[in-house]
Chains A and B, each alone.
Chain A
């Protein structure tokens, strides 16, 4: 079971969180023309990298904040966690 550092609450066990997928996906802006292809990419296509992955977790049984977690998908090493609005270099 992973041990995830929530930037709001501290280190908590994985079972307090829900997984939210790739954190680098940006929703297309509202009211903007977008091609079928680009929309499909946004809705359906996700990379599944082996190694470093920036992903969303929702601290569902804690502060209910969505956070970003930089995790290695093969070793489960967590490098850093960010608040939802934190700038990531």
Chain B
């Protein structure tokens, strides 16, 4: 089977390996190394999509990252990938792609009616057309626009592919392996620099793959192969293809996306689909080349109109003819190279050159080959709907304003060349302000902002000799700054056909009485008339024109459209381009998969999961877990068909009645050591610490400088200069940073060190009236009587041969102890406690029961210490020392904090003793008051009191102290509930605190 548009003796695809794929359900074949674009063109397929706004037929315009049209949806290994550029995606066996933005099919697309309704879609149409009547917006306009907007359909399935991140450092990063990239990489690598050379295409060589040149007595292709082979063999060089450096960030950090598996039917085992590289480079050489600039004429978006360099690359790299009756439309010599390539492959092109009488080596060669050339000629309009069938051409006057001799000639493709636009995106992203170069009518980088240099055609150097010389010099120069090896390689001689100046002409005027659409931005359907309209409506700044018309705002970021848009604005405004200025380039240079940006940090992997040493035991005993910060904690231990409510009630009751054990490993623990430790704690906490004896613990509250409670916890004096501080699970990291801040910056004279010991200790809280009896069995050789180990006491003891620390502290309000052992013995400790505790009816309890116990005791936790409360609000004012100064003390005397009706914590009980009060409810005096109902405060935590067997909540309300005894209402508009309540003391159970001291 042969392909109609495939050439036999040219191209770099592997003819020995046929690959079949489907496009819109129809089967085609291509060869290994083909892109979807080249394989479809080989099969004579040019209609691949529909345009964004008017649904006009779309073909192929470019051959790489610049492609504005050929965006397809891909199915690979049962995964959907929208927005694939057909010019970049390589084919593989079984590949399935289809067109987007068309319905029911690309051949017959209903949306094309927009083309006849263009008067309703002028620039900024979404601000104008859909304004009236207002009620139409939600029901008609918005659903319609949503259906019409966007290309492709993103999958809503979980992406099972793997993406990786990699960090790399190098002396020199070179972005692009064209002549300048290869030459500079070679010079720098030979000078001993650590080099990374990145190429976005599968093949190295850039323009050398398609240009007819000679370097050091070799063809461009031979030379690039030789250089790349040598670079690959060097240990100081990383060479990467299919890798796009898309972002230039601060301090020479560049990000590159490497497509590792996208060209394969399936991601190979142990390999990711894509890899994102974060590269910190000492120096960067930007050798990203240039992109051919289109010419603007009527219907210049018809399939078959494409860049002349693309047509040449399809022939030379893929062995594919884009047409058999080509028309070359050019304002410079580049079109001639394409024409000559056509001629060499047996196809007769016609060249229309806008210039009057140019002369150069290549024009002479074209003439000698017998190629037809018409000077001072332009294409007025392409004819044909789904493919170019002919073109109206005309002679253009010297002032480029008038057309004459309009005639029609048959052709099947129009290859345009409007000279070249340097790809200055990366330089611009680095902060380099570009300047307009009149000679090439384009912007080039100006003064380096970061450690970056732009070389080759990206820097506006359009002859190979200049490029090669500059690249070898720069490669040596920047590498020598780093290596100082002084190892300079010789520069090869370069042979290239001389070329001449381009014509400063890009937009063909309309003939009288014709209103062809002349497109500037091919992806967003922005035509000359849209820009004209925007300017008529008063938009002047190019940034505003861009946003109003959406010029250059498509996924191709105006790679082919920006300069022609600027040129048009400057022509209409009678300004020169540099006065108009250009819009800002921002990363990414090309679209990047969200998956690659996210990397491995997906779902559960987005943060670490920390488990206590007893985790396995909890799992085995039917624990249901809850996320507590990064920790997994047992919420309750399920027995039979119990619900959360039933289980937590059972667990909490058992603590009040017998004894329970809770895993408290997650509490933050900080070792505080040094001769000034007591003084330091005295400054950090609101209460007094200087007289705490060894072997005693104390509860403390610490504030921020603004007076707000930061954290609370107990701290124990282990020995003279050694304290063991505990923090809440959530604040552990912040408290450590806070302590380090004051020790290192504010009071460096204090001789104290702090270090986190959270993970070093496993903790079990043993709580309930039977806890002492249990402790006596666990530690038979230690006196744990009320006298031997009183409330807030501390002892070191021996737990069946394991050193343990016993703190007599209580969060549940019961007689309770906390036992700590080194983490490795955590499970041993836990199993011993359960085993020995059996005779005392021990049960493990989870965070839900823990909450119940602390709420009915009126102990505050995170839901009260919520970053808005001062000690008074949480009834902790008794812990605020009047004698000494501490962090945040001065703030407590600010007027808002000393108001007599300042909020205070209270208890709330529903009058019916059965209705639970939703957390977050408002406390109000009159539920029927006019909205907004003045609120007294809010419910911070709710539980079912196991002591009294009725619901109980904590609330922080205005003038709380004086509200006790009042009948108010808890309102939850969210749950649509209004509950009559009574305000009681927050200490609902054991208000005198007898149990903890028993």
Residues of A within 8 A of B (CB): 1-3, 13, 18, 20, 27-28, 30-31, 34, 36, 39, 42-44, 56, 58, 60, 64-66, 75-76, 78, 84-85
Contact = CB atoms under 8 A, between A and B. Distances in A.
B891 interface: yes
A1 B250 contact: yes
Contacts of B745: 56, 66, 84
12 contacts: A2-B250, A3-B250, A3-B251, A3-B253, A31-B885, A43-B706, A43-B891, A44-B706, A58-B737, A58-B741, A65-B740, A84-B744
A43 to B, nearest CB: 5
Given A30-B885, A43-B706, A75-B431, A60 B252 contact: no
User: A1, A20, A31: which has the most chain B beta carbons within 10 Å?
Assistant: A1
B740 A66 contact: yes
B705 A84 contact: no
Nearest to A36: B894
Contact of B740 (A27, A30, A64): A64
Nearest to B705: A43
Nearest to B706: A43
B120 to A, nearest CB: 45
Interface string B811-837: 000000000000000000000000000
Contact of A1 (B251, B746, B748): B251
Contacts of A42: 705
Contacts of A1: 249-251, 253, 278
A39 to B, nearest CB: 5
Contacts of B885: 30-31
A39 B251 contact: no
B741 A66 contact: yes
B854 interface: no
B748 A85 contact: yes
Interface string B872-906: 00000000000011000011001000000000000
Contacts of A58: 737, 740-741
Contacts of B253: 1, 3, 13
B890 A39 contact: yes
Interface in B115-148: none
Given A2-B251, A58-B740, 9 more contacts: A1-B253, A2-B250, A3-B251, A27-B705, A31-B885, A34-B890, A43-B705, A43-B706, A65-B744
A56 B705 CA distance: 17
User: B249, B252, B744: which has the most chain A beta carbons within 10 Å?
Assistant: B744
Nearest to A31: B885
B805 interface: no
A66 B278 contact: no
A18 B250 CA distance: 17
A36 B892 CA distance: 11
B746 A27 contact: yes
Contacts of B250: 1-3, 76
Nearest to B255: A1
A42 to B, nearest CB: 7
B683 interface: yes
Interface of B: 167, 249-253, 278, 280, 431, 683, 705-706, 737, 740-741, 744-746, 748, 884-885, 890-891, 894
B880 to A, nearest CB: 15
Nearest to A38: B890
B739 to A, nearest CB: 11
A82 to B, nearest CB: 11
| A-B complex: 7 closest residue pairs judged by Cβ atoms | A3-B251, A30-B885, A84-B744, A31-B885, A66-B744, A76-B250, A1-B253
Contacts of A66: 740-741, 744-745
A76 B430 CA distance: 12
A34 B705 CA distance: 14
Nearest to A33: B890
Contacts of A36: 894
Contact of A18 (B431, B706, B737): B737
B744 A13 contact: no
A39 B891 contact: yes
B891 to A, nearest CB: 6
Nearest to A56: B745
Contacts of B252: 3
Nearest to A78: B251
Contacts of B278: 1
Contacts of A76: 250-251
Contacts of A60: 737
B751 to A, nearest CB: 14
A82 B249 CA distance: 24
A13 B431 contact: no
Nearest to A75: B431
A4 to B, nearest CB: 8
A66 to B, nearest CB: 5
A36 to B, nearest CB: 7
A2 B280 CA distance: 10
Contacts of A3: 250-253, 280
B710 to A, nearest CB: 14
Contacts of A75: 431
A62 B304 CA distance: 58
Nearest to A4: B251
B741 A20 contact: yes
A64 B745 CA distance: 13
B806 to A, nearest CB: 30
A42 B431 CA distance: 35
Contacts of A85: 744, 748
A36 B250 CA distance: 41
B681 to A, nearest CB: 14
Contacts of B167: 13
A63 to B, nearest CB: 11
A18 B738 CA distance: 12
A18 B741 CA distance: 12
Contacts of B740: 58, 64-66
B716 to A, nearest CB: 23
A36 B896 CA distance: 12
Nearest to A27: B746
Contacts of A28: 890
Contacts of A13: 167, 253, 280
Nearest to B250: A76
A22 B884 CA distance: 28
A42 B707 CA distance: 13
A83 to B, nearest CB: 9
A32 to B, nearest CB: 8
A84 to B, nearest CB: 4
A84 B744 CA distance: 6
B82 to A, nearest CB: 29
Contacts of A20: 741
Nearest to A42: B705
A66 B167 CA distance: 25
B685 to A, nearest CB: 14
A3 to B, nearest CB: 4
User: A44, A66, A85: which has the most chain B beta carbons within 10 Å?
Assistant: A66
A80 to B, nearest CB: 15
Contacts of A44: 706
Nearest to B742: A27
A11 B760 CA distance: 30
Nearest to B733: A60
A1 B281 CA distance: 12
B923 to A, nearest CB: 30
A31 B683 CA distance: 11
A64 to B, nearest CB: 6
A65 B884 CA distance: 28
B748 A84 contact: yes
Nearest to B890: A39
A10 to B, nearest CB: 12
A56 B740 CA distance: 13
Contacts of B890: 28, 34, 39
A28 to B, nearest CB: 8
A7 to B, nearest CB: 13
B898 to A, nearest CB: 12
A16 to B, nearest CB: 12
B579 to A, nearest CB: 25
